[in-house]
Chains A and B, each alone.
Chain A
């Protein structure tokens, strides 16, 4: 599967990473190289193989329904690049 520049830009947008126009070609080449290399997995017969999702050593452990967290507003906001009183602030979003 080969990427064209438009696809590179689309993926960059999906990933919300700004890519300078001048970088697109180089990125395209690098990504295509990697994607070409991983194509080797198509050689393998995976019929009837269940995908592994992490170490399959147990089922999900559940916790009690108790309030054990929260009430940490100042710590929560302490690292905020832009804090507005009790809120995180971002450029206004129009829906």
Chain B
């Protein structure tokens, strides 16, 4: 009998429907896992045990009446970037202080509407800025995976949604929400051996999500299988009139799309994603992925995305610029931390100086600079033009193919403390993920294999705007072919 914490979301849903166990038991098992392992993993900033129990009880009652929603009783973690009503929300930062939102984000409200149980708020890089979850004011998150050699080294889960990915990998939650601005769902999904998707920009509402870079931020799910992600995304997605960038499109049946197969699909291989120094393991896994798709009836086509290499530089102009403006509201006046000052200016400076960590400060200053008088044309305007070229690359490629396959990350998870000397080294983690954000297209990471150290590696499927269905279809084929069944060293049910 599978431990409750080892179930997939889909299997747990079926088990609840069959009354094999109750929602209360399912939640209790996860709360116990959190209690046992969170001190080590630090995936959660806030655990909402009593609320979770109440939500589970309500789910049991609804299921008994035959009225359970699509996610009734399923316990998930919520990235602490989503405002949750009545529950402290930190954005991984000191500056929000004891802030308790008086409103619920649209995405989490929809998950609640569909019956999900919230276990707590997952740790993240501060204000979603990071690729390692090392910048959180609430301590770093430990990747549940360990290297075969040097098993003592604590590895990063990736970021910014490191807590969400680690919680799912460590079996502390059946699924989790994340956000992805430059790769913050896909990269940690790859590092933690779980599935994660960034949908098309506009597919999920941004209302109630602490904004980082407004033209790039997008909410999405983590889970241990592609179908589980589809199930969660179906609840998370949908038009929201409170978000002017929300797409007025119906939400397709993503779960059904998972079973479509890839026969007759054309899969593109962007040549610019192959770099000279690319690790052999990554190259081989990528080839393996293409073989799997070919065997399943897809045609593999070489394509070119000429501006790929400029994605990161473009991102590190646009995202900080938008962030510098979005984070101006954290000023100690209406909520959050306040450090006193002799006058208003000093209040602002001391509050923000004390409240923002080093990475956030770096990005806000870069953003302020690139927007400042005399530099707007040279940096921001130029970056938005390059962004248009990146989108054009994808648009032209998608005339030839239905989806693209690339590695998700250039390496597997690295150790805490590595890559911290030079900010740019950390930024390079997102080289394969960032272009999809710049173009607004959907991207899914599927755990596909292990590296020589036994650490997970993901493959990324990129699709046309609003064609998550094809992305799920391709991802499901990869998942089945890969048969990824490795388990992290640190997980629920394994004594630590």
Contact = CB atoms under 8 A, between A and B. Distances in A.
A and B touch in the complex (CB under 8 A): yes
Interface string B282-325: 00000000000000000000000001001001101100000010
B364 A81 contact: no
A55 B440 CA distance: 6
Interface residues on B, range: 35 or more
Contacts of B382: 41-42, 46
B234 interface: no
A3 B343 CA distance: 28
Interface in A1-53: 1, 3, 7-8, 11-19, 27, 30-31, 33-35, 37-38, 40-42, 44, 46, 49-53
Given A16-B352, A34-B423, A37-B424, A51 B387 contact: yes
Contact of B333 (A31, A54, A78, A81): A81
Given A18-B353, A33-B424, A55-B245, A44 B307 contact: yes
Contact of B247 (A1, A33, A58, A82): A58
Contacts of A42: 382
Size bin of chain A's contact surface: 35 or more
A30 B102 CA distance: 38
B377 to A, nearest CB: 10
Interface in A46-76: 46, 49-55, 57-58, 60-61, 63, 72, 75-76
B385 A1 contact: no
A91 interface: yes
A53 to B, nearest CB: 6
A39 to B, nearest CB: 8
B241 A61 contact: yes
B247 A57 contact: yes
A27 B359 CA distance: 11
B250 interface: no
B183 interface: no
A79 B369 contact: no
B50 interface: no
Contacts of B331: 16
B342 A91 contact: yes
Contacts of A13: 349
A9 to B, nearest CB: 11
Nearest to A12: B365
B333 A46 contact: no
Nearest to B364: A15
A44 B334 contact: no
A50 B389 CA distance: 9
17 contacts: A1-B378, A15-B365, A16-B352, A30-B423, A31-B366, A37-B313, A38-B313, A52-B387, A54-B201, A54-B245, A55-B200, A55-B245, A60-B244, A63-B241, A79-B102, A81-B97, A81-B332
Interface of B: 97-100, 102, 200-202, 214-215, 241, 244-245, 247-248, 307, 310, 313-314, 316-317, 324, 328, 331-338, 341-350, 352-354, 356, 361-362, 364-366, 368-369, 372, 375, 378-379, 381-389, 391, 422-424, 440, 465
Nearest 6 A-B pairs (CB), nearest first? A18-B353, A51-B384, A81-B338, A79-B335, A54-B215, A16-B348
Given A17-B356, A35-B369, A50-B388, 11 more contacts: A1-B378, A15-B324, A19-B353, A27-B361, A27-B362, A34-B423, A41-B386, A54-B245, A55-B245, A78-B100, A79-B335
